[in-house]
Amino acid sequence: MEQNPNLPVLYIENEKHHRLYSRFRRKVYAWLERRRFRPGVRSLILLLPDLLALIIRLFGDRRIAGTLKVQLGVAITYILTPFDLLPDFLTGIGLIDDLAAAAFVLSRVVAIMGQAGEEVLKEHWEGEGDVLDKIREVSNRVESLLRPNIASQIRQLFMK
């Protein structure tokens, strides 16, 4: 598959994680190609592979506490599993809940670790723009794209 020049390139040291990231990004891009979304929603969903790569990196970071690693692990599983609150294959916005899970768990890292958490996120972020701005943008946007009860359930799962 030819690399789309409009997609940001993310360097991941671990080859296994790089293959996972590349495969996931191709799946998300192909999924988006089959659907019609407003450009803003498309760009939001294309953040999912970058956020997933960040979560995987944080999961492997020794500075992250065990309790946070559990939540990061749950988020990784939630994102990669097609069966969740909005199954990825049943609805046109099936990846939005995965995006919410990513944003909420990353917000949790910052809430618990404060400035140190912000620095760790910035250290591991290789997506475009400021990671904290992206997390805030995703959190705000998914709230308007999801039904309130779904957003609330995801928030409770990842923000407690």
pLDDT tens digits, 138-154: 988 888 888 888 888 88
Structural domain span for residue 71: 15-159
pLDDT of residue 9: 41
The answer to whether residue 152 sits within a structural domain is yes
pLDDT of residue 4: 41
The answer to whether residue 3 sits within a structural domain is no
The answer to whether residue 75 sits within a structural domain is yes
DSSP label at 82?
S
Encode 2-33 in three state secondary structure: CCCCCCCCCCCCCHHHHHHHHHHHHHHHHHHH
The model carries a pTM of: 0.78
Q: Could you give the percent of the chain with pLDDT greater than 70?
A: 81
The answer to whether residue 66 sits within a structural domain is yes
pLDDT of residue 136: 92
pLDDT by residue (tens digit) across 36-94?
777 778 888 889 889 998 999 999 999 999 999 999 999 999 888 877 766 655 555 67
The answer to whether residue 103 sits within a structural domain is yes
pLDDT of residue 137: 92
The answer to whether residue 2 sits within a structural domain is no
The answer to whether residue 1 sits within a structural domain is no
pLDDT by residue (tens digit) across 94-111?
788 889 999 999 999 999
Tally of domains within the chain: 1
Closest CA to 141 of 38, 28, 27: 38
Q: Rounded to an integer, what distance in angstroms lies between the CA atom of residue 28 and that of residue 44?
A: 11
The answer to whether residue 4 sits within a structural domain is no
pLDDT of residue 5: 45
